[in-house]
């Protein structure tokens, strides 16, 4: 028990009433244990409920049924900012505040004493190499720089658990690889538990200890893939044959699900038509 | 022409000063205005009936001979400025307060916004005689009419600004543990500021319109009165000079709001210049 940071038990999430034809079953009886200090990726086709699951763990959504325990305490649709921090896409930085003000407001919301704000903010900014931009507004920075800052904002609140909801989705591939390396470096030292939602196969393999591959809607856990590679990971890991093998394995698992997800979004097809 | 890379080289024969003038937006604008004024001057002096049209030079002259020396007209102009200020102040105070109240929750927005949209859609000019009957011939009617024009765009833009707050920002704030009040104070209100200023600028224009419309409709000694006197005595030069004064008042008010916008919008304040170190 003490080894488990997050325990997801039989979570089902339905949007709309059960008897309605428009009701959508986003998550179907999902159970998962996440160990302390583990980096876990949720990988799956669009609309498979990855983000929904993350939001349930973070207490932003209340599941239709099932429970989620964080450090043994149930999350009941209420955020626990002292234990869990979120990192969303870079556009989550509040554009009306400067970088340092963005940190102060996050720390204020979290209830940290004012005396600590600037100290913590600058420490986190230094860790991502963005300390000299503290006085800038987000729109003055490039997208990659903004995401660096945004990650630092998630780190400065110093929670044990970090939930990352497609943080690199808006970035180009090169930038996301570089930021992924930095993230691996940064987090190896802290021992945080991280749940990371992504669409990118390479990102999932490069960063995770375990990859949870999810099925198309309704979201279920299809397979869990272990990546046995110590942190922090060097870019050389990407060149190893094992990296591409794992990546291909994920893709093979996902391909059918992506086809299924896309078929559900299209007109009904005749049974024998080659899809 | 086909060579897009070198259009500058081919225009070399154009003498340096002229080329520079035509390539700078500011001087091009000045040149266009100068041409229009010159054409008006020419038309006004050579062809136009002096009972209806006056060349720009005579309008300027009329300002100094017929407007500026007449204390009563200057007083009327100041009075007009005072009415606009009063009507605008009322519009801002009530517009922002009502806007905040309606925009505070999705429920109040759904309940009350249609009423505002309906009222805003009514062509108020049709009600001007009623406003005069209600508020009399004095400044109260002008202020009321300016207020009823100015208040709606402000309400609508405050509500729109509060409504358009990003879902991701709200979710981020909630995940950080922000209370409802903190969310309003630090997320929803700052997000609504640019929209608020759009409303304030629109409200300014509409307030001016309302006050001046009421002035022209009925006035016993204000700008509207003098406008009618000049128009009915077929004396266009001072009439245009007076109209020019109103235009200057309008532009000044709009500029004041614009300057306030540039200084008060968070994220657009004087911010440090960007220095991106050579990296990556």
B32 shares a domain with B105: no
Rounded to 10 degrees, the C-alpha dihedral B45/B51/B52/B53 comes to: 20
Structurally, chain B folds into a number of domains equal to 2
With contact defined as beta carbons under 8 Å apart, do B83 and B142 qualify?
yes
Over residues A119-139, mean pLDDT: 86
B130 shares a domain with B40: no
Q: Cβ A86–B172 below 8 Å, yes or no?
A: yes
CB contact A173 to B (< 8 Å): no
Q: Which CATH architecture has domain A4-83+159-263?
A: 3-Layer(aba) Sandwich (3.40)
Q: What is the reported pTM?
A: 0.75
Q: pLDDT digit string (tens) for A88-128? A: 877 789 988 889 999 999 989 988 888 888 888 888 888 88
**Band of pLDDT at residue A275, cut at 50, 70 and 90:** very low
Chain A residues whose CB is inside 8 A of the B274 CB are 136, 140-141
**Band of pLDDT at residue B101, cut at 50, 70 and 90:** very high
Share of chain B above pLDDT 70, in %: 89
CB contact A108 to B (< 8 Å): yes
B114 shares a domain with B250: yes
B147 shares a domain with B39: no
Q: Is residue B278 part of a domain?
A: no
B152 shares a domain with B37: no
**Does residue A227 surpass a pLDDT of 90?**
no
Q: Domain-by-domain residue ranges, chain A? A: 4-83+159-263
Range name among A180-189, A220-229, B147-156, B199-208 with the lowest pLDDT average = A180-189
**Does residue B172 surpass a pLDDT of 80?**
yes
Give the contacts of A174 (CB within 8 A, at least 6 positions apart).
Answer: none
Chain A residues whose CB is inside 8 A of the B187 CB are 94
Q: pLDDT digit string (tens) for B44-54? A: 888 888 888 88
- With CA atoms as reference, the chain A residue closest to B179 would be A109
Task: Quote the pLDDT of residue B276.
Answer: 43
**Band of pLDDT at residue B269, cut at 50, 70 and 90:** very low
Which of A58, A136, A157 is the closest to B274 by Cβ?
A136
Which of B169, B173, B275 is the closest to A109 by Cβ?
B173
Chain B residues whose CB is inside 8 A of the A59 CB are 175
Task: Quote the pLDDT of residue B268.
Answer: 57
| B179 backbone φψ class: left, alpha, beta (φ>0; ψ -120 to 50) | beta
Full domain range(s) for residue B38: 17-46
Burial class from Cβ neighbours inside 10 Å (0-12, 13-18, 19+) for residue A75 reads buried
Chain A residues whose CB is inside 8 A of the B174 CB are 60, 79
B65 shares a domain with B27: no
B240 shares a domain with B156: yes
How many angstroms away from the CA of A108 is the closest CA of chain B?
A: 8
B179 shares a domain with B91: yes
B67 shares a domain with B36: no
Q: Is residue B33 part of a domain?
A: yes
Q: CATH number, domain at B148?
A: 1.10.3720.10
B95 shares a domain with B21: no
**Does residue A160 surpass a pLDDT of 80?**
yes
CB contact A135 to B (< 8 Å): yes
Residue A158: closest CA among A126, A99, A91, A112: A112
């Amino acid at each position: 028990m003490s080894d488990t940071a997050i325990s997801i038990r039989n979570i089902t999430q339905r949007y709309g009433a059960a008897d309605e034809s428009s009701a959508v079953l986003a998550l179907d009886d999902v159970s998962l244990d996440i160990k302390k200090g583990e980096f876990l990726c949720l990988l799956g086709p669009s609309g498979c409920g990855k983000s929904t699951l993350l939001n349930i763990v973070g207490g932003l959504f209340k599941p239709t049924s099932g429970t989620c325990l964080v450090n043994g305490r149930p999350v009941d649709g209420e955020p626990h900012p002292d234990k869990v921090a979120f990192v969303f896409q870079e556009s989550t930085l509040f554009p009306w505040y400067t970088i340092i003000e963005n940190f102060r407001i996050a720390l204020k919301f979290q209830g940290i004493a004012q005396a600590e704000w600037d100290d913590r903010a600058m420490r986190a900014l230094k860790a991502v190499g963005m300390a000299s931009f503290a006085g800038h507004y987000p729109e003055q920075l490039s997208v990659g720089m903004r995401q660096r800052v945004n990650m630092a904002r998630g780190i400065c609140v110093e929670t044990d658990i970090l939930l990352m909801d497609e943080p690199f989705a808006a970035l180009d591939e090169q930038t996301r690889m570089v930021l992924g390396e930095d993230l691996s470096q940064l987090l190896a030292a802290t021992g945080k538990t991280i749940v990371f939602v992504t669409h990118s196969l390479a990102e999932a393999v490069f960063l995770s200890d375990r990859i949870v591959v999810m099925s198309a809607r309704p979201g279920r856990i299809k397979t869990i893939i272990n990546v046995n590679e110590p942190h922090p990971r060097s870019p050389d890991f990407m060149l190893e044959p094992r990296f591409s093998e794992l990546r291909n394995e994920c893709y093979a698992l996902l391909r059918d699900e992506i086809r299924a997800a896309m078929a559900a979004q299209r007109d009904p097809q005749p049974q024998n038509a080659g899809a | 022409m086909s060579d897009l890379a070198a259009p500058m080289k081919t225009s070399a024969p154009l003498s340096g000063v002229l080329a520079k003038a035509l390539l700078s937006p500011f001087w091009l604008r000045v040149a266009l205005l100068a041409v229009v004024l010159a054409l008006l001057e020419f038309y006004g002096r050579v062809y136009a009936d002096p009972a209806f049209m006056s060349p720009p030079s005579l309008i300027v002259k009329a300002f100094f001979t017929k407007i500026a020396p007449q204390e009563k007209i200057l007083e009327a102009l100041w009075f007009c400025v005072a009415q606009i200020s009063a009507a605008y102040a009322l519009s801002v105070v009530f517009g922002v307060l009502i806007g905040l109240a309606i925009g505070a929750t999705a429920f109040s927005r759904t309940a009350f916004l249609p009423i505002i949209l309906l009222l805003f859609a009514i062509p108020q000019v049709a009600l001007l005689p009623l406003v005069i009957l209600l508020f009399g011939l004095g400044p109260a009617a002008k202020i009321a009419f300016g207020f009823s024009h100015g208040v709606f765009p402000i309400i609508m833009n405050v509500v729109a600004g509060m409504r358009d707050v990003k879902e991701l920002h709200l979710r981020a704030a909630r995940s950080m543990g922000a209370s409802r009040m903190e969310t309003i104070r630090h997320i929803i209100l700052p997000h609504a500021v640019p929209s608020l200023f759009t409303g304030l600028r629109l409200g300014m224009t509409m307030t001016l319109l309302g006050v001046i419309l009421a002035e022209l409709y009925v006035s016993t000694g204000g700008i509207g009165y003098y406008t009618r006197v000049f128009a009915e005595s077929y004396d266009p030069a001072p009439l245009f000079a007076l109209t020019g004064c109103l235009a200057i008042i309008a532009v000044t008010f709009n500029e004041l709001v614009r300057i306030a916008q540039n200084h008060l919008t968070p994220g657009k304040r004087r911010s440090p210049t960007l220095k991106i170190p050579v990296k990556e």
